Amino acid sequence: MGMLEDRHTHTHQGHRIEVVENAVAKRVTLLIDGREVASESCMLPQEITLDGAIDDAPVQAKIVIRFLRGSVVTLEIDGTPTPLLKSE
């Protein structure tokens, strides 16, 4: 994770999808159009899956927390891998 927060974003059919890693709160959160749809604590290195949906299309974010080497975040929309843009 970055110093305080990393954001991974993608826009799909006008919907903004964000995966937010918050180092202070030790949480990862999946946001769709600014609304939290799933979150989980990330106190230890682990693999986390967060699920949501856009217009009946499932959205799945997978986060592999690796504190010293940075996390690996992937996103699938309706089963199709989707690229994310990382910002800190």
Measured on CA atoms in the order 35, 6, 47, 17, is the torsion positive or negative? Answer: positive
Q: What's the Cα-to-Cα distance from 28 to each of 13, 14, 15, rounded to whole Å? A: 24, 23, 19
Rounded Cα distance, 54 and 86, in Å: 21
pLDDT of residue 3: 65
Q: Domains, the chain, ranges and CATH?
A: 5-79 (2.40.128.180)
Low-confidence stretches of the chain (pLDDT beneath 50): 1
pLDDT for position 88: 63
| pLDDT on residue 1 | 46
Tokens of residue 50, six digits: 């967060």
Three-class SS state of 66: coil
Distance (Å, whole) CA 44 – CA 67: 8
Is residue 3 within 8 Å of residue 18, measured between CB atoms?
no
pTM above 0.85, yes or no: yes
